[in-house]
Structure 1
Amino acid sequence: MSGDTPALHLDGIPPDVLSKVQQYLKPFQLSEAKLREVSDRLSKDLVRGLGKNTHQKAGVKMLPTFVRTTPDGTEKGDFLALDLGGTNFRVLHVRVVEEEQKVLKMDSQICAIPKEMMLGTGEQLFDHIAACLGDFLVSQNLKGQTLPLGFTFSFPCEQKEIDKSILIRWTKGFNCSGVEGKDVVKLLKDAIHRRGDYDIGSVAMVNDTVGTMMSCGYKDQSCEIGMIIGTGTNACYMEEMKNVKRVEGEDGRMCINTEWGGFGDDGSLKDIQTEFDMMVDKTSINPGVHIFEKMISGMYLGEIVRLLLVKLAEDRLLFKGQTSEALQTPGTFETKFISEIEEQDGGLENTQKILTQLGLKWNSVNSDVVRLVCDTISSRSADLCAAALATIANRIRTNRGLSHLKTTVGVDGTVYRKHPKFSEKLRATVRRLAPECDITFLVSEDGSGKGAAMVTAVALRLAHQSRLLEDSDGEVMEEEEEEEEDK
């Protein structure tokens, strides 16, 4: 556990220097008991977020996604996927092949969104998306076919149905007029209708964590948790309908987008926030918001390390008390440096190269201290993530009254994928915190593209099954009526 001294070359650090450095690192090294406490708090927050009268004030929002089941392996067909979440958007043609249980990306196209369009009218934006979608259909010889579409729209929305999603507010530099408070699916369909030269079939709105879960769920039908640990962090999982108080119905399950990055926004993580976390939060673009995310995700880890290195240098524990202009500049210590520094082979070399690049005068003791700092910060991130994941796995197990749960987590994000030790540390801590859960991890292949198509495919399968059920019910009723008449 990260509470133990990591397996690094600490012999090269003089004992007096090491003990002073450890004083700064101690608040980041969370004991198993503390992680269990964090897990218990999150567990209560999940219930608060699901509650009809408590979700408004809950830090963990627990948003219903209207995705009612994971793939069963019988889905098939051609689908379109649209992924809008930044200055570019992607259009994809995805084919689901039942025999091979494969989700194939046939082709895709990236379309830029000009800066002025990000601040123009909503009509302009959706006309542009509809035009790019039309061009793509022509280039793929798909014009004339009416294909279902999965729509990943990575902005805060309140989902009302699988095909109805209201934009709460724009983020990421967008501010198109006439979209906030409106149904984005309707705006897209209206724009396609204005063109009049093609049509699309049913639309399913997809959050990126749900896409991650669903793209893995076709390969592995026991996948019922999706997790992202990249620039930000979030997770979704299959919850029992009877616990989802904001949606009518008691039967079956629904995928819930937890928005766990907001855990701690009510001050519940103050006891584990260090002075460095508080500084990162204070100088961020959204102070007081997404406290949990700021301790874990790629957008912030490098900055926590930078602030620590500056402090250690000020206390003359690094670089003979000298920093550099680069190290004093926020954002210059990139999170990818942590991954490079922690590589098993070549990590020491990378450390020295990065320190030189940052204009610092270092010696071998300095590079060992920097590696220890990076290891401590990434270990805490993995431990906190593991505590949150254990909370969800334990909840699913308890919900179902099982003594043992076997489940799969579909996972994505650069921190999980690129950091050399992160996934291993995460798995080890989850095993300790959720011993009755046997968890397999599956890295998602393009959740926001293939996953969006998969959500649409499952929604179509369910609609088809329910039509068949209605037809067979109708036939039974007709037969009963005929029997009555015969009597």
Structure 2
Amino acid sequence: NPCFSLSSRVQPDPSGSETCVCLQVEKHLEPFRLSLEKLQDVSARLRKDMLRGLGKHAHHRAAVKMLPTFVRATPDGTEKGDFLALDLGGTNFRVLHVRVLEEEQRVLKMDSQICAIPQEIMLGTGEKLFDHIAACLAEFLDSQKLRGQTLPLGFTFSFPCEQKEIDKSILIRWTKGFNCSGVEGEDVVRLLKEAIHRRGDYDIGSVAMVNDTVGTMMSCGYRDQSCEIGMIIGTGTNACYMEEMKNVKRVEGEDGRMCINTEWGGFGDDGSLKDILTEFDEEVDKTSINPGVHTFEKMISGMYLGEIVRLVLLKLTEEKLLFKGCPSEALLTPGSFETKFISEIEDGLENAKKILTKLALDWDLVDACVARLVCDTVSSRSARLCAAALATIANRIRTNRGLDHLKTTVGVDGTVYRKHPNFSDELQAAVRLLAPKCDVSFLISEDGSGKGAAMVTAVAHICLDINGGSMLTVPNPPYL
């Protein structure tokens, strides 16, 4: 009961005005409170969208893209060797050397190097970008005394791509401030290899393209071999899981499994979630740089949660339910309420007081309690919606395999999951309700983009050995 939640934090008010405030605040928060039945309904909608995305002819119009990753197995603990990992997703990129030691059942991440990408390269030609990457890679090989070795490489390239094979990925469009000419519509693995070939002073082995969710799953999969789902809840959100090959209609083959990158952030882009969108969600979408896109992500991820809370607080202030009806300049400014404030406020009332003061608001104790309640309500919806999506995947895996009961592990990463004081507990509790026949454990990833990329490469390398050169065709691999 939200009134009880609020009134339990403040002294009783004989005038009854506190109860009145509670009721009016609740009117605005009620749309965020999704019942178990509604969450089950959301899960059923996602299940239909996932089937559409897997279809051979329906996928192009699916909001949930269900992209094949061509990763055919999770680690089984026998992987070993030295691997390079390249993580490109912003104005900096990392090169890593990862050593997998089978006898110690662990991965040792060796030294890594961060390389800046200057603005002129971000906006220049693709050839200059990949020449710069190749030069940084050469410098790293020298620093690690790896020059002369031909090591497999895991390539995390965090831009929208259509993956054709494990080592072939076509850039759909640049984001994050990049606009290098001659790259969109091209295979980024080929461009990297051509840049290395132009140098002529070193070479790399096989290349495995790695989505960040896949990296998370594979990083955790080496520590827990029941890990078959990867999930990220941070600035954005996404998930991947191991699907039966017979259901992946866009790729030939019936045997075994393949990891599918769901791209579930786009869930609802076709209007299927319109009935649960609040006026605040609609405002966030309308003022974003990509209206109508990534509907689900905008309801639950770190890039948007702070702004949703700001809009709710502003609405309550305009209705004179908060801050004596006087918003500060900060509260009127989009983006001023950072998502990290939500975690801090929910972690304690003293934090709420400090943050409201930082935002130059004229607050009292009831205001601080209401602000905390708003944060709790918005983050709780995020956790429960995420749980509905995750339960959909767990239930699908169980059904796919004809199991009465599924025991599986989710490799998870992202600041919202890691930093929020209650998010993980709420998510896990909701998953238990929504997937009662699934025993779902959670394992936080340790550097999915580095170790995970190495593990994808290691598993792909085993596929090469088994199939005499083919990373894709694994009829009955022993580690599936």
Matched with 1:10 is 7
Whether the aligned pair in 1 keeps the contact of 2:233 and 2:413 (CA below 8 Å) is yes
Whether the aligned pair in 1 keeps the contact of 2:121 and 2:180 (CA below 8 Å) is yes
**Deviation of the 1:112 alpha carbon:** 0.4
Whether the aligned pair in 2 keeps the contact of 1:300 and 1:335 (CA below 8 Å) is yes
Q: Match for 2:267 among 252, 256, 263? A: 263
Q: How does 1:185-334 map to 2 (within 5 A)?
A: 185-334=189-338
**Deviation of the 1:10 alpha carbon:** 2.8
| Secondary structure, aligned partner of 2:7 | coil
Matched with 1:457 is 458
- CA distance in 2 between counterparts of 1:184 and 1:5 reads 51
Aligned amino acid, residue 206 of structure 1: V
How many residues are matched? 463
Aligned amino acid, residue 197 of structure 1: D
| Deviations, residues 121-177 of structure 1 (Å, cap 9, x unaligned) | 000000000000000000010101111000000001111110001111111111100
| Secondary structure, aligned partner of 1:328 | coil
**Deviation of the 1:8 alpha carbon:** 4.0
- CA distance in 2 between counterparts of 1:248 and 1:8 reads 55
Matched with 2:366 is 365
- CA distance in 2 between counterparts of 1:205 and 1:6 reads 51
| Deviations, residues 332-384 of structure 1 (Å, cap 9, x unaligned) | 000000000011xxx11110000000010100000000000000000000000
Aligned amino acid, residue 463 of structure 2: L
Aligned amino acid, residue 419 of structure 1: H
- CA distance in 2 between counterparts of 1:19 and 1:77 reads 62
**Deviation of the 1:103 alpha carbon:** 1.4
Matched with 2:389 is 388
Q: Match for 1:32 among 33, 36, 39? A: 36
**Deviation of the 1:9 alpha carbon:** 4.7
| Secondary structure, aligned partner of 2:295 | coil
- CA distance in 2 between counterparts of 1:450 and 1:177 reads 31
- CA distance in 2 between counterparts of 1:66 and 1:123 reads 27
- CA distance in 2 between counterparts of 1:278 and 1:52 reads 32
| Secondary structure, aligned partner of 2:275 | helix
| Secondary structure, aligned partner of 1:292 | helix
| Deviations, residues 218-256 of structure 1 (Å, cap 9, x unaligned) | 010000000000000000000000000000000000000
| Secondary structure, aligned partner of 2:331 | helix
- CA distance in 2 between counterparts of 1:287 and 1:25 reads 24
Q: How does 1:48-127 map to 2 (within 5 A)?
A: 48-127=52-131
Aligned amino acid, residue 237 of structure 1: Y
Matched with 1:425 is 426
Whether the aligned pair in 2 keeps the contact of 1:165 and 1:184 (CA below 8 Å) is yes
| Secondary structure, aligned partner of 1:94 | strand
Matched with 2:478 is none
Instruction: Rate the CA distance shift 1:61–1:361 in 2: closer, same or farther, 3 A.
Output: same
**Deviation of the 1:99 alpha carbon:** 1.4
- CA distance in 2 between counterparts of 1:15 and 1:416 reads 33
Instruction: Rate the CA distance shift 1:163–1:7 in 2: closer, same or farther, 3 A.
Output: farther
**Identity %, equivalent residues:** 79
| Secondary structure, aligned partner of 1:104 | strand
Whether the aligned pair in 2 keeps the contact of 1:69 and 1:254 (CA below 8 Å) is yes
**Deviation of the 1:467 alpha carbon:** 3.7
Q: How does 1:161-200 map to 2 (within 5 A)?
A: 161-200=165-204
**Deviation of the 1:6 alpha carbon:** 9.2
| Deviations, residues 435-464 of structure 1 (Å, cap 9, x unaligned) | 000001000000011100000000111221
| Secondary structure, aligned partner of 2:208 | strand
- CA distance in 2 between counterparts of 1:8 and 1:467 reads 63
Does residue 136 of structure 2 align to residue 139 of structure 1? no
Instruction: Rate the CA distance shift 1:468–1:159 in 2: closer, same or farther, 3 A.
Output: closer
The structure that has the greater radius of gyration is 1
Does residue 444 of structure 2 align to residue 440 of structure 1? no
| Secondary structure, aligned partner of 1:278 | helix
- CA distance in 1 between counterparts of 2:104 and 2:291 reads 48
**Deviation of the 1:89 alpha carbon:** 0.4
Whether the aligned pair in 2 keeps the contact of 1:6 and 1:375 (CA below 8 Å) is no
Matched with 1:402 is 403
Whether the aligned pair in 2 keeps the contact of 1:411 and 1:443 (CA below 8 Å) is yes
- CA distance in 2 between counterparts of 1:5 and 1:29 reads 10
Aligned amino acid, residue 413 of structure 1: G
| Secondary structure, aligned partner of 1:129 | helix
Whether the aligned pair in 2 keeps the contact of 1:68 and 1:254 (CA below 8 Å) is yes
**Deviation of the 1:465 alpha carbon:** 2.5
Instruction: Name stretches of at least 5 consecutive residues in structure 2 with no aligned partner.
Output: 13-17, 471-480
Whether the aligned pair in 2 keeps the contact of 1:36 and 1:433 (CA below 8 Å) is yes
Aligned amino acid, residue 225 of structure 2: Q
Q: Match for 1:158 among 153, 157, 162? A: 162
Whether the aligned pair in 2 keeps the contact of 1:6 and 1:372 (CA below 8 Å) is no
- CA distance in 1 between counterparts of 2:181 and 2:292 reads 27
Whether the aligned pair in 1 keeps the contact of 2:79 and 2:459 (CA below 8 Å) is yes
Aligned amino acid, residue 387 of structure 2: A
Aligned amino acid, residue 124 of structure 2: G
Moved more, 96-105 or 458-467: 458-467
- CA distance in 1 between counterparts of 2:465 and 2:220 reads 23
